[in-house]
Each structure stands twice: as C-alpha cells, then as structure tokens.
Amino acid sequence: MALVERTDTRLQLVFDNGVDEISGKALTKTKSFNNIKTTATAEQLLAISSALVPLQTLPLLMVKRNDTELISEV
C-alpha cells in the first residue's frame, strides 16, 4: 500500500500576453506564488486570485494549483 503526503503547493496565475507576430501563437506570462498552505481549498485559492488579478496589467487566462506529493510505501 502506498502513502501519499502533500509536501508543497504553488498557486500560478496565467495571463494573456498577446500573440507572437511571427508564429501567430498565443503568448502567456505566468506569476507563481510559493509556500501556499497545502490544506488550502480551491475556493480559498480562487479568492486570493480574485484579490491579486486587479493588481496586474494583463488579462487573466487561468488559475493553476501545482501540488508536489511524496509517495512512499507503508
């Protein structure tokens, strides 16, 4: 049986940074916030994101949660 322990959580805000003139691909810019409590809920992360987005100049595309988990045998 495996034991899973969440060791780190990161909040990432992905913003629209226009379109590349040569390739035509969409450009994004990501701002990461480390040391987020691993017990934070999706609603709490969304609330924090809602407070941070008005401080930015680029439009928000998505909010990401990146978790790191340690997997070991029991």
pLDDT tens digits for range 11-63: 999 999 999 999 999 999 999 999 999 999 999 999 999 999 999 999 999 99
Alpha carbon 10 to chain centroid, angstroms: 6
Is a pLDDT exceeding 90 seen at residue 65? Answer: yes
Whole-model pTM: value is 0.85
How confident is residue 68, by pLDDT bands cut at 50, 70 and 90? Answer: very high
Contact 4/67 with Cβ under 8 angstroms? no
CA atoms within 13 A on the CB side of 26: 7
Q: What is the pLDDT of residue 74?
A: 82
